[in-house]
Chains A and B, each alone.
Chain A
Amino acid sequence: MKAIKLASNDNVATLLGDVEKHEVVEIISADNEVIAEIKALQKITFGNKIALCDIANGEQILKAGHSIGKSITEIPLGQLVHVQNVRSERLDIPEAIIEEIIKQMGIEK
């Protein structure tokens, strides 16, 4: 399965299909060139993001060249980057809704 890294300084890539835990993901650039292979640390579904490097706690998550929020914990290479480990820098999703998203998606914490 492929995941697209939209800008060169991004630390996440977006999955173009579903991957299972331990499956290898081909990371492609916006020009469709394969630039890396990364093993997914958990199941990640289409449209979600995978960490392209180890991300420290409190670091900005960069997608398409811009910050989409900050990590609230260390995020290892290959991990799903989503509501369980990132918060908005502008206006958070209410906590109860985050819990519901984690439940619906079966995210391993």
Chain B
Amino acid sequence: MTATFKGYPRPNGTFGIRNHVMIVAIDECCEGIARNISKEIEGSVVVTNHYTCMYGGNEEMIDTIIHTGINPNIAGVLVIAMGCGSIDPELVAGPVRAEGLPAHTLTVIKNKGTIETIKDGIELAKQLKAHADSIERVDAPVSALRIGIKCGGSDTSSGLASNPSVGAASDKLIDLGATTMAGELLELLGCEDILKARSVSPEVGDKIERLIAEDLKRWHVIEGTETMSIGNSVGGLTTIDEKSQGAMHKTGSRPIQDCLRISHIHREKPTTPGFYLTETTMLCGGSAMHFASLGAQLILWTAGAAGFNNSIVPVIRVSGNSSLITADMDINACGIMDATDTIDNVSNKIVERVFAVANGDKTNLEGVGYAYASLYQKDQRLEHVIGICPQ
């Protein structure tokens, strides 16, 4: 097994597996301008703050944009602001530049309006693209690889085939020196003791328990709440413990280094290779941008259903449900369901696919269709009301 991959070197010492120019519409009114610029620049991606043009209360989402700007898959950033809101485009460009990446800003009302800004934006984005194109892939250590792990549209095959296979692949990737990360803390309800036992320290264990409890409070899961559907149970899941453990299997078995917080004041990132839990949301689109902001170059997605893509962080799909095996699916884990294949064997295929995609192979759905870069954030005012706003 190769211990390196071919990545694009970045000035801050990270290595991208893709080489995108990122165009940010820092307020919602700039979305059209950003898209008109992007149309002219191959391989560019648009990230839009679709909430508002105001900064107060939206710090977590803006912070996700900033940290996505320094994701290793990004070669340079152009930030567009309308100029009548309170979000200074330098809020994003400054930290990106501080990491050694080129970053430009344009403010529409200071730049003779929309038409001129599109023209100027295309020129600046072309410069960024030329810079990106000047960077060549070099040998990068596996320790530079960060991989997000997510499930979606789960069914019986997820708990038996795709999740355990991805978990076993995660263990193998960590043993090779990589970092893997999962989120969806709400869906780990009932796994607290197992996760605590896997933690590298009692402090990390307590943090996991606390952050799961906060997520249960945030989503109002109390005694008597229906946490599973009748369909889940008819399909064979007896308790929420069993359902959650099915989801947990995708996290493998290696020690948990930390549970990384994502909020308006925290953006904790992996410090040493290994496995991490994170506050990455269970909402698919938002989760991709959370993983991007934590520095993940690609995502493993165990799928009971189709959907979910991201234009910055490629998504490798794994399913054990034969009715979902189409040209979209990267890894077929169905053999586990009829005892003709094993978790160990499928996990080897996943590891191989991870390295192929890291080296430049496209995932089956990469560049196909369109995925909006959804930006999820917690409502700070509500967090204050229910008493879980971090200080």
Contacts and interface: CB of A to CB of B under 8 A. Distances in A.
Given A30-B342, A46-B236, A90-B189, A67 B337 contact: no
A8 interface: no
A4 interface: yes
A77 interface: no
Interface stretch (B2-10, B13-21, B238-246): B238-246
A14 B336 CA distance: 12
Interface string A70-93: 000000000001110011111111
Q: Is the interface of B mostly helix, strand, loop or mixed?
A: loop
B255 interface: no
Interface in A11-66: 14-16, 28, 30-32, 45-49, 61, 63-64, 66
Contacts of B245: 63-64, 66, 68
Contacts of B226: 93-94, 97
A15 B343 CA distance: 16
Contacts of B230: 97, 100-101, 104
A2 B238 CA distance: 20
Interface string B60-90: 0000000000000000000000000000000
Contacts of B160: 4, 6, 14, 47
A82 B190 CA distance: 17
Q: How large is the interface on A (under 10, 10 to 19, 20 to 34, 35 or more residues)?
A: 35 or more
A88 B234 contact: no
A69 B230 CA distance: 18
B156 A47 contact: yes
Nearest to B241: A68
B343 A81 contact: no
Given A30-B342, A30-B343, A94-B226, A88 B190 contact: yes
A92 B243 CA distance: 12
B357 to A, nearest CB: 27
Given A90-B241, A94-B226, A28 B339 contact: yes
Interface string B183-224: 000000110001000000000000000000000000001011
Nearest to A30: B343
B238 A83 contact: yes
B186 to A, nearest CB: 12
B228, B239, B339: which has the most chain A beta carbons within 10 Å? B239
A26 to B, nearest CB: 9
Contacts of B337: 16
